[in-house]
């Protein structure tokens, strides 16, 4: 991966460092080919996180396996989203924040008891 402090004059036409720029600070690299759309998305996501693509990919690779999701949980989320799209009442963010702020306090009540009728209830 190209470093910010390397100039284009220090690279060959194929993008490899010239013999004069190879020093102890260069780590061995490899090239992985992805289509342009994926490459652009990787660059965009890395930039959003304030990372280089190299750092972003390293972070992804360090994850411990794929995330496993119970299909029943996905079905439940789909069911709830269908209710929202159908116009079922939702809860304003301010109401949820107010409730979350009661956690670990004597004022805490389970959501179904704490939600005010005018705020709507999550089903």
Tell which residue, 49, 120, 68, 69, has the closest CA to residue 91. 120
- Overall pTM > 0.75: no
Residues in the chain: 123
Mean pLDDT score of the chain, rounded to an integer? 79
Q: Which tokens belong to 49?
A: 């996180």
Write down the domain spans for the chain: 1-31, 71-119
Give pLDDT, residue 67. 72
- How far is the C-alpha of 122 from the C-alpha of 42, rounded, in Å? 36
pLDDT at 97: 92
């Amino acid at each position: 991966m190209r470093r910010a402090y390397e100039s284009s004059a220090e690279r060959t036409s194929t993008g490899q460092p010239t013999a004069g720029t190879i020093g102890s600070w260069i780590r061995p690299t490899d090239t992985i080919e992805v289509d342009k759309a994926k490459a652009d998305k990787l660059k965009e996501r890395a930039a959003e996180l304030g990372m280089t693509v190299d750092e972003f990919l390293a972070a992804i690779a360090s994850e411990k396996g794929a995330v496993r999701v119970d299909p029943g949980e996905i079905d439940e989320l789909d069911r709830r989203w269908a209710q929202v799209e159908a116009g079922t009442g939702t809860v304003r963010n301010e109401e949820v924040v107010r409730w979350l702020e009661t956690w670990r306090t004597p004022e805490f009540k389970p959501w179904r008891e704490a939600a005010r009728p005018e705020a709507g209830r999550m089903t």
